[in-house]
Amino acid sequence: MEFQIDATSQGARACTIKTAHSTILTPVFMPVGTQGTVKALDANDMLELGAKIILGNTYHLYLRPTSKLIKKFGGLHGFSKFPNSFLTDSGGFQAFSLSDNSKPDENGIMFKSHIDGSKHYFTPKSVLDTQYELNSDIMMILDDLVALPNTDERIKKSIERTTKWAKEAIDYHMEQKSKGIGTHQNIFAIIQGGTSKEFRKLSAQQLCDMSDFDGFAIGGLSVGEPNQDMYDTVEWTTQFMPKEKPRYLMGVGTPEDLIENIERGVDMFDCVMPTRNARNGTLFTTFGKLNIKKAQFKEDDKPIDACCECYTCKNFTRAYLNHLLRAGEITYFRLASIHNIHYYLDLMRKAREAILIDNWEEFKKEFYTKRSK
C-alpha cells in the first residue's frame, strides 16, 4: 500500500492510499457490503457512485457461501464484479454479537453459526487465511471485544489479548508473504480500551510499536457511549498513532460523527447507517435528516435534496419515493440507498476539497449552519 498526506487543515488530513485495486482519496467513507454487496445495489451502482473501496464481512462470507467458494470465483472482486478495493473485517465482531454462546479464550473465539448452529473457532491466523481467500485489499486482525461498560480487569484482559493476537497475526502475515501469499494485501491492527485514556494509550502504544502493520484502526467505539466521549477518546488516541499510516475509525457513524472525527485526524470510516436508514425511510440531506414516509411528502414535487446530484435526486420526486416506500416496492430501497450513499461519499469529497485549500473551519461551520436551518 502506498500512503501519502496531501494536505492538513486544523487536525483534518487529506491523504492518498493506493492499493492493488484502486486509488483512495481520504477522508473516505466505505459503504458496508456485508454479504459481498451493498444492500439493494450492485457493483455497477457503486462505480456510478464513485466508491473506491467497500467493506465486506468475513464472518458472513466465511459461513456462506464460504471463502473457499469465493476464492474459486477470483476472490471478492471476481465474485461481486466490484473492481475497486475491499476492506474485510476479521469476523470477530459478528462472532461476538450475532452468535449464541460466543466464547473467547487465550487463543481465539469459539462461536455457533447464526445460520445453522454449527460450531466454529476463529484464531488470529484462521481469520487471515479466510481473508487471503477473499483477497481483500485491507484485512483486519482478530481482536478481543468486550461489551461496554465493563470492569477494568476485563478491559485490561482484552488489551493484552488483542496485543498478543496482533503479534501472532503480523508474524503470520509476514511469513505468508514470504511464501508468496497475500503479497498485495494489507493488514491493520485495532486499538481497544473502551473510553479509558489509560487503556487506549496502552493499547495504541503496544500495537503501533509493531511497525509492519500497514495501518491502524480505533475499535470498540460507537457502542452506546455519549458522542462527546467518543470524540474525546478519538482525539486522545490519534496522538499515539503514527502520522505516516492510515487511521480508521470502525463503525462510525452519523454525518456529524464523520465531521467531528475527521477534525480529530481520522482518515477512514465505515457504517451501516446510510443503507440501513435508507431502508427505514430516513434520508440524509444538506439540511439534516428527513423521514420520507411522512404524509407531508405525499404531494411534494421536490427532489430529496435540492443540492444533491445523485441519480435519484436528478430523476425522482419526494412524492414518488414516499409512494414507493408506503407500497413496499423494492425500487424504493435501491433509490433511497443510492441517495444516502451518494450523500456520504459527497460529504467526504467536499471535506477533502476544504482540507486541500486549508478551509476546514469554514467548511465545518457551513455544514452545521445549513443543518440548523
CB nearer to Zn ion: give 43 or 335: 335
Q: Indicate if 358 belongs to the active site.
A: no
Of the residues 45, 257, 267, 270, only one is catalytic, namely: 270
User: Is 89 part of any known ligand binding site?
Assistant: yes
Quote the DSSP letter at residue 141. P
**Beta-strand relationship, 138-140 and 119-122:** unpaired
Of 45, 89, 144, 214, the active-site residue reads 89
Tell me whether residue 91 is annotated as binding: yes
The residue with cell 494509550 is: 201
Q: Minimal distance in Å, beta carbon 303 to Zn ion?
A: 7
Instruction: Calculate Rg over the CA atoms of the chain.
Output: 20
Between 140 and 308, CB nearer to Zn ion: 308
Name the burial class of residue 212, with classes exposed (0-12), middle (13-18) and buried (19+) by CB atoms within 10 angstroms of its CB: exposed
Give the residue with the Cβ less far from Zn ion, 63 or 313: 313
- CB 97 within 8 Å of CB 134: no
Residue 307 assigned as binding residue: no
**C-alpha span between 318 and 323 (Å, rounded):** 8
Cell of 102: 460466543
Cβ proximity to Zn ion, 308 vs 321, nearer residue: 308
Minimum CB separation from Zn ion for residue 369, in Å? 20
Annotated active-site residue 89? The verdict is yes
Q: Which of 133, 143, 139, 147 is nearest to 191 (CA)?
A: 143
In the complex, the smallest distance separating the C-beta of residue 338 from Zn ion, rounded to whole angstroms, is 7
**Contact of 203 with 163, CB cutoff 8 Å:** yes
The nearest distance, CB 313 to Zn ion, in angstroms, is 3
Those residues whose C-beta lies under 8 Å from the C-beta of residue 321, and which sit 6 or more positions away, are: 283, 292, 297, 304, 312, 332, 335, 336
* Contacting positions for Zn ion (CB under 5 A): 308, 310, 312-313, 339
Quick one: which H or E segment has residue 178?
helix 152-178
Q: Tell me: is residue 308 an annotated ligand-binding position.
A: yes
C-alpha cell at 110: 469459539
Are 27 and 267 a contacting pair, CB within 8 Å? yes
**Three-state SS across 9-25?**
ECCEEEEEEECCCCEEE
Nearest approach, Cβ of 293 to Zn ion (angstroms)?
Answer: 17
DSSP state, 184? T
Q: Would strands 109-112 and 103-104 be described as parallel, antiparallel, or unpaired?
A: antiparallel
Residue 243: phi and psi, rounded to 5, are -70, -30
93 is in an annotated binding site: yes
* Closer residue to Zn ion, CB minimum distance, 93 or 333: 333
Nearer to Zn ion, 147 or 306 (CB): 306
- Is 339 among the annotated ligand-binding positions? yes
Residue 310 known to bind ligand: yes
Question: 90 a known binding residue?
Answer: yes
Minimum CB–partner distance for residue 343 and Zn ion (Å)? 6
Question: Rounded CA gap, 292 and 305, in Å?
Answer: 11
Catalytic annotation, residues: 89, 270
Instruction: Extract the annotated binding site.
Output: 89-93, 143, 192, 220, 308, 310, 313, 339
**Binding-site residues for substrate:** 89-93, 143, 192, 220
User: Residues comprising the binding site for Zn(2+)?
Assistant: 308, 310, 313, 339
